[in-house]
Amino acid sequence: MKPLYQYIKCFFRKEKTKLSWRLALLFFPLLTYAQRDSIFIKVQLDEVNYKLHVKQKLVYVNPLKREMDSVKMLSWVNAYRNSRTPLGKRKLEERKTQLYFSKKEERGFLENLSVDREQVEYVSNTREENIYLKLRTPLKVGKKITLEFEYDVQLPSAKITQYGYHENSLLLKYFFLVPDNFEDNKLSPKYFLDIEDNQSAGNYWDVKFEAKDAYILSNLKELSPSHFRGFLYEDPEFSIGFQNQKSRLSYTVNSKNIDIDLGYTISNEERALLDFYLPLQLKFIDDRIGFLPEKILLGTREKKQDGFLGSDDIVFKKWRFKVFETPERLDLNYFSMLSKSIVEKSFMADRNHNHWLYNGLKTYLEMQYLEKNYADEKLAGLLPEEVKIWKLKPLKWFNISDIDLIERYGLGYKYILTQNLDQAISTPLTELSKYNMMAVSNFEMGTIFSAIAEQMGHQQFNQFIKKYFEENRNTEISGKDFINQLRVASHEKSAYLESFIQKRNRVNFKVRSVKEVGNQLAVEISKNTDLPIPFKLQSVDANGEKNTYWLNTTTSKKAQKYLIPNLNTDKIQINNHYSFPEYKFSDNYIYTKGLFTNMRKLKFRFITDVPNPEYNEVYWIPKFSWNNYDKFILGMKFTNSSLLPPRLIYQVSPSISTGTGTATGSAGLSYRWQPADAFFSNWTFGTSGSYYHYDYNLPYKTFNLYTNLNFAKKYRSQINRSISFSYSYFQKELTPELIAEKAYGKYNLWNLGYSYSNNRAIHEDTFRASLQWMEDFQKASVEYFYRWEYAENKRMMFRFFGAYFLTNNTRNDLFNFGISRVSNYAFNYGLLGQSAVKGFLSQQYILAEGGFKSNFNTSVNQWLLAGNFDTHLWKWFNLYADVGVYKNTYHSPEFIWDSGLKLKIIPDFIEVYFPLQSSLGFEPGKKGYGAKIRYTLNLNLGFIINHLRRGIF
């Protein structure tokens, strides 16, 4: 064997290149245990210009059951060539604009490709991600061909996907030409989307670098400091530093020698901790899947992306709050990284369609590790002790401080379920939304594996995993085959799995009743699915002692009764701790004794929290607000709406108006219908009412009935569409003067609306159309909003508003279209001074209707056309301009305009407008300029949350 390695080494010597290729190809099959593609690469590194000059040979085996006249090569570095590639579009979907705004030298591409023309007749466009080589002679089934290439790779900046060049290092992956060896149709296109998909798995690699003063690490076995070789079920990765950042950790675990290379520096203290934790982690993983690779590379990308979610300290300005102690945080982070890396190396599968197998097993290992080592750890970690206000520790009042760390998986999946944005587990990886990659592919699937393992017995489940991967170590496996084999090994306990992963599930178990039958309890359980899903039932006595039973179900949805021993049982619970991905957990608990027999207990909790499904919880939340007429509004809101909101939500908010000394408040009730597979994602029906003051000692009452239908959307899309309909009744107390002026004391409003929004990066637009009517008028309006990010963090905005009264028999200007100020007759804008006509409160600005910043002191009762323009000027300042034409009855149309500066204190939330030039003249030169300055104040929590989560789901 030694002479063979010497022959392969001589391949990298310029004077013996031809001979070495021939010898390597002659003897190489002796080293392989299957016919696989083999890739030999020699790389000259230009670290100044971030370029690779590559000489490459490929031994390609026809994997199809037919002759091939073309070979498809993947050149995924071309995905970085501009923002119009599938990678560029995907990054914009996630609102990441680094590639879009990158400079030419920050982009990546392949160039100067030359191919051995003795074998290849034609080469397609080398600037594309899929390069097709037309062979001169068709390649027969099972036969191989040797192809030679030479090309240059311009590396991209690592700021785009973290692969490429950093300031003092390189991280290489997916940058070499490789054959596509996963698709049945070799000519179908495939694209790089930065989702850690396999580019070309199951190959033999031999890679040698020519680079001075470089320190190179790889997931391939190292023959010398610049020479790497071996088989991989994943793609090769190389971490190249120009300062000695190399850290190698070597361990012997279960008689296996494992090297772990770190592509970053660590402190002596951290190394000492790793020397303690890593051998334990490796043994834990090996004992469960029966595999450890000889070599593991953990680079900067893995450290940033694959660590334990939620383990980092929370930093807010000068405050830092620890979630975990340093040893615990390091233990959790490295186990998360190691388990992901090892699972990916343990078998070979098409990750696009079998991502759930990789991610589910990784999460299963993580869950088992937490069960063993962190069973008593809480989700909030140290935060309940760390967060202090004076001497109080407010987080201890919340249920979240009592939630076990292991419940994070069920909660993460439950949250996306409440939004009705979950996807089927079997959804291809390329189509999963960013959040579902975690919530569905990892959390939901890991929870299912954990449930199956618990019922089978963890030892039996682990033995199945070991045996299955050992038997299929050298072949590409399929998720379907894995499920079929698991079904046999589990004695049909996992029979539901194949159907379960194919659809969006709304599985729900319910404890309907419990009765004493002699010395047993008859527990009636129902489920809403015909899948034969087993469930875990626990009986709990007064001392908290639990007895666990795994019970099977049939393909019927009818309720079944199960007999269990009556061991002084106080409570029955099923699938506790979110141990199976259900839609609803609040009906999984029932009491057998006392006042709350056959029902859940009532519990009041302070402030909105993560719900405890064991109780009917009512949250009481102090309410504090202010307006010019009620002054400080002090009260309390009682609601069942939590951080995982139920379908039926109620809220009652009694309060005291300190400005009037009277009782005020509001109340509401809504129901959200969220079928899994429909043309809409949710349909909400609701009613609400309120009582406050709109002027000094003048109260108003509102009553609303409404429905809102949000259409279903593509999961990675930022497009949202909805239609709404509402009826509102308003009653205002009037003064004698207002009565004399024929003011409206009572009125009804009907509204029909349509909304479209596309919150994509770069080009963001919104369209709204509405029709509103009452006894005295009917009016229609349309609004279009467009925002363009023309340079990084520099935006230009345009808005158009058009409105027309179909009929108008109103007796005053209350319902007119506003030019500079909206009248807010429906009380749906957060104005601090509803009736203010002068002073600071009257200067509050709402971008609605005409949207002018200068005060034209008029409104419109016939039609209005207006346009608003806003663009970045310098640092916190924008330049704005408004233009419009309006017509009032019996008057000719009038053209108006204004312009000025906008100060962005908190963009989109707190902004100040300084009018300069307008139809009124040069405004700073006029008297009382301070009264002309306008400001926005948007502190709507729901708007802020939706603003932050764009691009996530």
For residue range 789-816, list pLDDT tens digits in order. Answer: 999 989 999 999 999 999 999 999 999 9
DSSP strand E in 774-908: where?
777-791, 794-808, 817-818, 859-860, 863-874, 877-887, 894-906
pLDDT at 220 over 70: yes
Strand order in the sheet with 546-551: 546-551, 535-541, 569-574, 589-591
H or E segment at 526? strand 520-527
235 Cβ contact partners less than 8 Å away, ≥ 6 residues apart:
173, 174, 178, 198, 199, 200, 201
* pLDDT (tens digit per residue) in 635-684: 999 999 998 999 999 999 999 999 999 999 999 999 999 999 899 999 99
Q: How far apart are CA 50 and CA 152, in angstroms?
A: 11
Q: Report pLDDT for 35.
A: 59
* pLDDT (tens digit per residue) in 908-919: 788 999 999 999
From the number of C-beta atoms within 10 Å of its C-beta (0-12, 13-18, 19+), residue 51 rates as middle
Name the phi and psi angles at 269, rounded to 5.
Answer: -65, -40
Lowest mean pLDDT among 96-100, 398-402, 453-457, 935-939: 935-939
Q: State the amino acid at position 443 in one-letter form.
A: F
- Pairing mode of beta strands 169-172, 164-165: antiparallel
Name the phi and psi angles at 316, rounded to 5.
Answer: -135, 105
Torsion, Cα 809 813 815 820, to 10 degrees, reads 140
205 contacts 178 by C-beta, under 8 angstroms? no
pLDDT at 34 over 60: no
- Pairing mode of beta strands 109-115, 38-46: unpaired
Q: Report pLDDT for 27.
A: 42
pLDDT at 168 over 90: no
Q: State the amino acid at position 385 in one-letter form.
A: E
The pLDDT confidence band at residue 608, using thresholds 50, 70 and 90, is confident
| 632 DSSP β-pair partners | 626
* pLDDT (tens digit per residue) in 816-845: 999 999 999 999 998 999 999 899 999 999
pLDDT at 945 over 80: no
Two tokens, residue 858? 């008029």
* pLDDT (tens digit per residue) in 251-283: 999 999 999 999 888 999 999 999 999 999 999
For the chain, percent of residues with pLDDT exceeding 90: 78
What are 493-500's contacts with CB under 8 Å, separation 24+? 493/452, 493/455, 493/456, 493/534, 493/552, 494/452, 495/532, 496/531, 496/532, 496/533, 497/448, 497/452, 499/531, 500/425, 500/448, 500/531, 500/533
The dihedral through the CA atoms of 325, 327, 332, 336 has a sign that is positive
Q: Report pLDDT for 944.
A: 55
Nearest to 181 by CA among 57, 79, 73, 41: 73
* pLDDT (tens digit per residue) in 63-76: 888 899 999 999 99
pLDDT at 5 over 50: no
Name the phi and psi angles at 385, rounded to 5.
Answer: -90, -30
581 contacts 444 by C-beta, under 8 angstroms? yes
Count the residues in the chain.
Answer: 953
Mean pLDDT, residues 284-306 taken together:
94
| 816 DSSP β-pair partners | none
* Averaged confidence pLDDT in the chain: 91
H or E segment at 148? strand 144-154
For the chain, percent of residues with pLDDT exceeding 70: 93
Two tokens, residue 285? 């993983």
* pLDDT (tens digit per residue) in 451-500: 999 999 999 999 999 999 999 988 889 999 999 999 999 999 999 999 99
pLDDT at 157 over 60: yes
123 contacts 24 by C-beta, under 8 angstroms? no
The dihedral through the CA atoms of 120, 125, 126, 131 has a sign that is negative
Lowest mean pLDDT among 232-246, 318-332, 511-525, 616-630: 232-246
Two tokens, residue 824? 């807010």
Q: State the amino acid at position 604 in one-letter form.
A: F
Two tokens, residue 726? 């509402």
Mean pLDDT, residues 592-603 taken together:
79
Q: Report pLDDT for 433.
A: 92
DSSP 157: B
Lowest mean pLDDT among 9-18, 35-44, 295-304: 9-18
Nearest to 215 by CA among 185, 188, 242: 242
pLDDT at 525 over 50: yes
pLDDT at 30 over 50: no
Instruction: Write down the residue that tokens 């698709």 correspond to.
Output: 183
Two tokens, residue 791? 């340079």
Instruction: Write down the residue that tokens 């179909």 correspond to.
Output: 806
Q: How far apart are CA 443 and CA 464, in angstroms?
A: 21
pLDDT at 23 over 80: no
Q: How far apart are CA 837 and CA 840, in angstroms?
A: 9
Q: Report pLDDT for 258.
A: 95
